[in-house]
Structure 1
Amino acid sequence: MPGHPPPTTIAGKPVSSIGYGMMNLTVYGTVSHDDAIKSLKAAIDNGANFWNGGLFYGPPDANSLILLKAYFTKYPEDASKVVLSIKGAYNPATHTPECNPESIRAAVDEALRLLNGTHPIDIFECARMDPTVPVENMVQTLVELINEGKIGSYGLSEVNGQTIRRAHAVHPPAGVEIELSLFSRQALEKGGIVDTCHELGIPIIGYGVLDRGWLTGQLKTVDDLPKDDIRHHFPRFRPGAFEQNLKLADFVEGFAKRKGVTPAQVAIAWVKQQGVLPIPGAVKASRVEENSKEIELNDTELYELQQTLEKHEVVGFRYPEAFAARLDQ
């Protein structure tokens, strides 16, 4: 059974055991400004005080930073409660990380400009590893920015155990962000990312904890996805794979019903009990409230889930094939 609790502090600041991922609030342009503000308010009011946003989560005039400035302007009293992690140094048009010193500095300066003093950058993450820049060089640039007072700390995203060790040798990261869910468990391999972070004492932040909707209990057929839904491009949602993966999703739904909670709450609790801070990204305030509710899984329940995971093979990679080269680097 998992033996590590989720982190209680990140970047030297206290965090709740469930955080909030901001990507879906702005990246698709489908959530109104007012509803996005309500969802952020629901997050902090329900204790989810670790927020993860990005410069490339939406267009330059409507990304996470624009939303954050508006939120903290409206609710300045909440600024001191939130621990803010921002991702950048990534070109969304070409899906290319740009982690040379000039690009990292430009990204941090742009984030600070957009926040306009409403909140500091507690953690800055290069969203992916740039194959043209050694991780040691990337970290050195980030350490310079820490020393200059522009960012509080730095984090890593989609890295492997070896990269974590190389980065840590230069300067310990405040956190490592990984994809982790009942569907995506690759980070838990023996000696892998989670083990490495626990060994080095690095907090772990888990995104994709509901596997893009699989673990919400809302998907039953491929037709439940709108025609223009981006998930049609993800292998796990394609015909054939969908029907196979539905078996695990249905089990989690039944398990949750027996426990008197929701499938999403089970999925989030499972991630938390791997010693990881989950950052689910619901867009409706009611879902944010649901996801922020603390539940625990006892040893018997964890064992039942583990037995089921060993029986049900998840079909399809976690990202479209074109993105694979940028993951786990």
Structure 2
Amino acid sequence: MNSIQKTQLGSQGLVVPPMGLGCMGMTRINGADIYGQASEAESIATIHRSLELGGNFLDTADLYGPLENERLVAKATRGNRHAYVIATKFGYEIDDQEQLTWGFNGQPAYVKKAAERSLKNLGTDYIDLYYLHRLDPATPIEETVGAMAELVQEGKVRYIGLSEVSAATIRKAHGVHPLTAVQTEYSLFEREVEAGGILDTLRELGIGLVAYSPLGRGFLSGDIRNPDDFAPDDFRRMIPRFQGEQFYKNLELVEAIKSLAAEKSVTPSQLAIAWALAKGSLPIPGTKRVRYVEQNLAAADIQLSAADLNRLESIVPLGTSTGARYDEANMMGIDK
């Protein structure tokens, strides 16, 4: 295995590589290919190649499928579970027929039920990092985290985290049981975690920031040229960032980023990941292809100077509107 430099995520003791592998695109969600069609064989090969290169931190969730993504991760890690750090998430309610209700459920009984189901689907007796995927507005966060803490005491979960939550929610949760990580979208195109004071809160409390979509849902790869490049069921068609006039404004920003990447002889994706690393986050770029996981992990070796960071951030200054990151209904699920 490649000796990629390991790092601590948060301050509770979890040791991980400098970036993880987002597995969401390896399966469908509710019958739709989220980022184009996936091959199970290549997805599993991607997970195995990531491990060979030292990238043993996998990010999944029961929502993805639902449940099928965890089962795919189980296939990929079978017989070698100890070599991986597996993070999964719960909170989008899934009923006993394995159907999404599209409600949020953080009730203690559901926390336990969801965890048992994930353990079974992952083919493991412990989850390294267990996140609440979205806040349940009907259940106090203290109750949800209290149930997650019991899973830690039982040895079923090693560390806990939250996803898409406000600074106030983070403080309340951390007071019940120390959080290891908070996951949110974070990239050159999405910096609300900085603007909203969440990053400052995480630093103060010693909680790690896990950055999903560090490539702006693929925009920062430089490969997307036209809104019609997407398959009919690609969910990016529903996201304002990829619609109408905003798409072409964002394309101009990407062109400027591509120029800087060319100067440094790296890909735009690698530059975007290197930026996220330099900002102190742990990015989890998603891919289902071996060649991209190789490229992404190589970004850990890119050193950006203060001048490089300034140039990048002058292209997309804090506060630049690149379009909402979800449609209106999904934005309602983000705790402000």
TM (norm. structure 2) is 0.89
Give matches, 1:281-296, under 5 Å: 281-293=286-298, 294=300, 295-296=302-303
The equivalent position to 1:264 in structure 2, one of 266, 269, 277, is 269
Alignment partner for residue 54 of structure 1, among 61, 66, 78? 61
In the other structure, the counterpart of 1:221 is 226
* Ranges in structure 1 where 5+ consecutive residues have no aligned partner: 1-5
CA distance in 2, matches of 1:116, 1:306: 43
Write the letter of the residue equivalent to 1:55. Answer: D
User: What are the equivalent positions in structure 2 for 1:268-279 lying under 5 Å apart?
Assistant: 268-279=273-284
> What SS class does the counterpart of residue 177 from structure 1 fall into?
strand
* Other-structure match for 2:97: none
- State the distance in 2 between where 1:91 and 1:55 align: 9
Question: Separation in 2 of the partners of 1:296 and 1:95?
Answer: 42
In structure 2, the gaps of 5 or more residues are 1-5, 95-99
Match of 1:3 in 2: none
Query: Which of 120, 144, 158 is the equivalent residue of 2:164?
Result: 158
Q: Aligned partners of 1:222 and 1:9: how far apart in 2? A: 36
Residue aligning to 1:125? 131
What's 1:305 paired with? 312
Q: 1:234 to 1:255 in 2, by over 3 A?
A: same
1:32 aligns with 2:39: yes
- Whether the 8 Å contact between 1:236 and 1:316 is mirrored in structure 2 is yes
Q: Partner residue of 2:8? A: 8
Q: Secondary structure at the match of 1:270?
A: helix
1:87 and 2:89 matched: yes
1:242 aligns with 2:247: yes
C-alpha separation in 1, matches of 2:318 and 2:194: 17
CA-atom RMSD in angstroms? 1.9
- Counterpart CA distance in 1 for 2:210 and 2:297 is 15
Aligned residue identity for 1:109: E
Q: How does 1:129-148 map to 2 (within 5 A)?
A: 129-148=135-154
Residues 125 and 157, structure 1, Cα contact 8 Å, conserved in 2: yes
Q: Matched residues in 1 for 2:316 and 2:322: separation?
A: 12
- Per-residue CA shift, 1:228-274, capped at 9, x if unaligned? 32211100111111111111111111111111000000111111111
2:280 partner SS? coil
Q: 2:3 aligns to what?
A: none
CA contact (8 A) 1:247 1:312 kept: no
Q: Which moved more, 1:310-319 or 1:94-103?
A: 310-319
Q: Is the 8 A contact 1:139 1:171 kept in 2?
A: yes
Match of 1:100 in 2: 107
CA distance in 1, matches of 2:73, 2:233: 28
Query: How big is each residue's C-alpha offset from its partner over 1:145-169, in whole Å with a ceiling of 9 and x where there is no partner?
Result: 1111221121110001111111111
Which residue of the partner structure matches residue 195 of structure 1?
200
Amino acid of the structure 2 residue aligned with 1:151: V
Looking at structure 1, the residues matched to 56 and 280 of structure 2 have their Cα atoms a distance apart, in angstroms, of 17
Q: For 1:43 and 1:127, how far apart are their aligned partners in 2?
A: 24
Say which is worse superposed, 204-213 or 94-103, in terms of deviation: 94-103
Match for 1:299: what amino acid?
A: A
Matched positions, count: 317
Tell me how far 1:23 sits from its aligned partner: 0.6
For 1:71, give the aligned amino acid: A
- Residue 227 of structure 1 aligns to a residue in which SS? coil
Match of 1:17 in 2: 18
- For 2:191, the equivalent position in structure 1 comes to 185
For the Cα contact (< 8 Å) 2:160–2:181, is it kept in 1?
yes
Map 1:199-210 to 2 at 5 A: 199-210=204-215
Q: Which residue does 1:251 correspond to in 2? A: 256
Q: Is the 8 A contact 1:7 1:203 kept in 2?
A: no
- Alpha carbons of 1:97 and 1:311: their partners in 2 closer, same or farther (altered >3 Å)? closer
| Conserved? CA contact 1:244–1:314, under 8 Å | no
Structure 1 residue runs of 4 or more that deviate by more than 6 Å after TM superposition: none
C-alpha displacement of 1:301: 0.5
Q: Cα offset for 1:80?
A: 2.5
Provide the secondary structure at the position in 2 that maps to 1:323.
helix
